[in-house]
């Protein structure tokens, strides 16, 4: 069966927006007015509004050779929601702008929006506006996420205290290893299009790359257990880069232990296969969208039974610098090798 | 004197953000937390939050051959603020994301941000976040503007009433004619680089294209004079397209008079020179960023002395359709020939 292909031109901009937003159902009482006017309107009922924005560019942040449009739509939303959760806030609305060249069909954009709406539904956020436009080349996505938080209960990066425990959710490095695997399969495919891709047993790391989730559950756990992190951010650029952000902005030093960094068994196995160091993937890989936070030592008992939270080190005096103690007993300076689009 | 050129790579992403945001001073008490964390935080003190977003793409929405970077930064902000004013709201914050190829230097981006900050200062808004990224080709700009409004006092497009007067601020068509002039000069320059551009006496229309302003003054006038428009939007795609939006969303017909459409003398002269119909430029040209609104007939006395507001027609029953009565006594159906990126 041939796939349908409707040209964007057949709909026009307003027709396209109508088409892509035809099934929107408002989920948040705070959404007073959504898509279809000059702007959307939000009522936050005495809460504070939290805003975050991210841009994703084809060829820089994603490769449509192995990223399905639906996954891309989903991930574009999730990476922004992750920033809202990292403030200790609850995401409530997003705006979505995309620019695309004429190689994209209406069906392709519709798939993208299916992913967008799937993420909106899963996280209970409303799509309230956006913009669609042509581009000269490729796809550019810009998402702004809006959330709410009880006044002054948001959690910054700059408020960690000396002696605080450093915690991270889930496991790290898998998204980078998934990307490495997909890049390898792409090269093999380009060299020999008849070779079937060898992705078996790699669903975990590929899923972590293609369909990341934001740690709503961790924020809920922290709230339910009355744990207020002293600082928090999400791990989008790699653990090392993020820890250095918290250390620098809190004017502190940091010590982390290699053996405490949570890395999935699947990640260790694929790293071994590729001849990569799993710790390096966790420190510098990026795109894990886990939560990195610090908390007072006395809160340790509250998290110790949660297998989704690992204590990996502590905040030290600024004079101690930022170090990792390795399994082999060595001490290395942490450097920001986080994923950096400008050095790729 | 040679112009300095610093490569983006020399700064890195975080260095670049630090550099571009180094002079930010918060102007709004509602800005609780600005640039530098996962998200920004806003407190709206019992007001409703209004959000709008726009994407501008090089080669589609602007041409850097004749648009200076500083003007581009200014305009990128203003076109978004215009949407917030069009809701009857006051803009308070923006986020700014840009993706750019490596042909841009730090100096070029700095110029762009000078324009951004100039607009922020003029309109009293805070830049609270954003994202910078590489692109494969050209410059892509995505701005989200946030504003506040007294609960339920925002003005939609869908609430015009039969018999309401249709008003428009300022004058129309000049931005399109300015663009036409710049495009012509570009072609002449490309054909014969030694011919000096003939832009004399055209500062008005060129200014309307390169450095539009949002009609903050009109919103203030309406508030001060206790005029509540029954519907409102800004004129970004041409008068015809916008009037049809209001008519369609309000489920009404519309009658406008050609002779009442405000067109500047400079616009008429250049239209004559180019063999263009100035009314067509006003109806279909776009990018004027004037305010189009409807109001009750009894409010007429309140606006009649304001030379910046023209009454151009009235809302009619839906059975009457949407028409323009020309100076020559003819009646034409209004069609949406508004600027449409997908048909260019």
Question: Among A35-39, B72-76, B86-90, whose mean pLDDT is lowest?
Answer: A35-39
* A304 inside 8 A of chain B by CB: no
Q: Is the ipTM of this complex over 0.95?
A: no
Tell whether A342 lies on the interface with B, counting CB pairs under 8 A.
yes
Residue A37 labeled ligand binder: no
Among the partner residues A49, A55, A136, nearest to B44 by beta-carbon distance: A49
Give B98's contacts in chain A (Cβ within 8 Å): 55
Q: Is A16 on the interface with B (CB under 8 A)?
A: yes
Nearest CB to B60; choose among A59, A60, A135? A135
Task: Please give the average per-residue pLDDT across B303-332, as a whole number.
Answer: 95
Distance from CA of B178 to the nearest CA of A (A): 22
Give the nearest partner residue to B134 out of A13, A57, A249, using CB atoms: A57
Check residue A82 and give its pLDDT: 96
A64-97: per-residue pLDDT in tens? 999 999 999 999 999 999 999 999 999 999 999 9
Report whether pLDDT(A249) > 80: yes
| Class (C level, CATH) for A165-343 | alpha beta
Which residues, in sequence order, are CB contacts of A92 under 8 Å at separation 6+? A28, A30, A31, A42, A124, A125, A126, A146, A147, A148
Check CB contact under 8 Å for A52 and B38. yes
For A192-307, where are the alpha helices, taking DSSP H only?
203-210, 216-224, 239-250, 265-274, 278-284, 300-303
Least confident range of A61-65, B94-98, B130-134: B130-134
Cα A196 to Cα A186, A191, A193: the distances in Å are: 11, 12, 8
Percentage of the residues of chain A whose pLDDT score is greater than 90: 73
- Closest-CA distance, B95 to chain A, in angstroms, reads 7
Domain A8-149, CATH among 3.40.50.2030, 3.30.1330.10, 3.40.50.720, 3.40.50.11900: 3.30.1330.10
CATH number 3.30.1330.10 given to B11-149 = yes
- The CA-atom distances, in angstroms, between B166 and each of A241, B231, B242, B259, B282 are 56, 9, 11, 14, 15
B33 shares contact with chain A (CB less than 8 Å): yes
Give residue-wise pLDDT tens across range A176-208. 999 999 999 899 888 888 877 777 678 999 999
Q: Name, in order, each residue with C-beta under 8 angstroms of B312's C-beta and a sequence gap of 6 or more.
A: B166, B167, B168, B256, B257, B260, B261, B262
Judged by a CB distance cut-off of 8 A, whether residue B131 touches chain A is: yes
B36-47 residue pLDDT tens: 788 888 888 888
Residues 64-93 of B with CB under 8 A from A: 83-84, 86-87, 89, 93
Tokens of B279: 């009314």
With beta carbons under 8 A apart, name residues in chain B contacting A8: 342
Give ∠ CA B137-A212-A333 in degrees, rounded to 5: 80
Q: Where are the domains of chain A?
A: 8-149, 165-343
DSSP B319: G
Q: Which of A6, A21, A38, A291 to mutate to test the interface with B (most CBs of B within 10 A)?
A: A38
Task: Of A149-153, A183-187, A335-339, give the lowest mean pLDDT range.
Answer: A335-339
Q: Which residue has the higher pLDDT, A321 or B41?
A: A321
CA angle A31, A35, A39 (to 5 degrees): 80
């Amino acid at each position: 069966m041939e796939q349908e292909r409707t040209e964007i031109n057949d709909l026009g901009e307003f027709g396209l927006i109508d088409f892509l937003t035809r099934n929107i159902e408002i989920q948040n009482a705070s959404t007073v007015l959504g898509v279809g006017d000059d702007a959307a309107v939000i009522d936050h009922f005495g809460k504070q509004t939290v805003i975050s924005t991210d841009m994703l560019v084809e060829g820089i942040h994603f490769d449509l050779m192995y990223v399905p449009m639906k996954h891309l739509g989903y991930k574009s939303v999730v990476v922004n929601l992750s920033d809202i959760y990292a403030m200790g806030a609850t995401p409530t609305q997003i705006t979505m702008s995309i620019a695309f060249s004429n190689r994209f069909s209406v069906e392709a954009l519709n798939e993208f929006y299916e992913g967008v709406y799937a993420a909106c539904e899963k996280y209970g956020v409303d799509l309230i506006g956006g913009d669609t436009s042509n581009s000269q080349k490729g796809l550019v996505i810009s998402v702004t996420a809006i959330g709410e938080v009880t006044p002054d209960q948001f959690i910054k990066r700059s408020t960690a205290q000396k002696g605080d425990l450093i915690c991270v959710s889930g496991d790290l490095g898998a998204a980078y290893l998934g990307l490495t695997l997909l890049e390898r399969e792409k090269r093999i495919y380009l060299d020999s299009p008849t070779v079937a891709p060898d992705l078996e047993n790699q669903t975990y790391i590929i899923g972590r790359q293609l369909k990341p989730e934001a740690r709503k559950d961790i924020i809920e756990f922290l709230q339910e257990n009355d744990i207020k992190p002293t600082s928090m951010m999400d791990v989008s650029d790699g653990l090392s880069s993020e820890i250095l952000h918290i250390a620098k902005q809190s004017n502190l030093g940091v010590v982390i232990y290699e053996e405490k960094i949570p890395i999935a068994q699947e990640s260790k196995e694929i790293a071994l296969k590729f001849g990569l160091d799993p710790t390096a993937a966790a420190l510098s890989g990026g795109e894990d969208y886990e939560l990195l936070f610090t908390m007072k030592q006395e809160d340790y008992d509250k998290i110790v039974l949660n297998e989704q939270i690992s204590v990996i080190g502590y905040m030290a005096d600024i004079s101690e610098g930022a170090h990792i103690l390795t399994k082999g007993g060595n001490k290395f300076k942490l450097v920001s090798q986080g994923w950096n689009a400008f050095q790729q």
